[in-house]
Amino acid sequence: MSVRPAVEADVARILILIRELAEYERALDQVRATEEDLLNTLFGHNPQVFAHVVEVDNVVIGIAIWHLNYSTWLGKHGMYLEDLYVDPKYRGEGHGMELLKSLAQICVSRGYERFQWWVLDWNTSALELYKSLGAVGMDEWTVYRLSGDALQEFGRNG
């Protein structure tokens, strides 16, 4: 397997791939992350977000960024996959599956019973892959987000 945990030297390449994924998701204008942000959050004190990378010929061509989530029903942590991306030039070679499998192995070895992620409803190739693994869409639920001015106003003290 050419998957390994990311190291600090990967950060510049990780940011390039994050930006490519955002472009695919039609949201490049929303990317504000810098290399320093990634260094701080992935490799600072007591990190709570993690990255795995997949390499071909010593070049990082895919990334998986993940963190823990939690189930109150199980009383246990699980894994949440924030981003999965493989450089389009290397698609169809199983690298996305290698990344997913590495993370699933971490889940099994640590006793995490749920491995979750979001999918854009129009990303049919990804949906097919995920369903082929036995992943199930949580169709009864919708994610709500409070952000921007609404969050600032509601979260103001007093």
The residues, ordered by sequence, that sit 6+ positions from 137 with a Cβ below 8 Å of its Cβ are 119, 127
CB of 83 to a copy of itself, least distance (A): 5
- The verdict on whether 144 is a catalytic residue reads no
CB of 92 to a copy of itself, least distance (A): 19
Nearest-angstrom CA–CA distance, 96 and 4: 13
Count, residues near a copy of itself per rule CB under 8 A: 75
Query: Using an 8 Å Cβ cutoff, are 55 and 42 in contact?
Result: no
Which one of residues 9, 32, 45, 57 is an interface residue with a copy of itself (CB under 8 A)? 32
User: Kind and range of the H or E element at 78?
Assistant: strand 76-86
Which one of residues 18, 53, 54, 99 is an interface residue with a copy of itself (CB under 8 A)? 18
Q: Is 76 in the site for a copy of itself (CB under 8 A)?
A: yes
Q: Is 27 in the site for a copy of itself (CB under 8 A)?
A: yes
Cα-flanking dihedrals φ and ψ of residue 156, to 5°? -70, 145
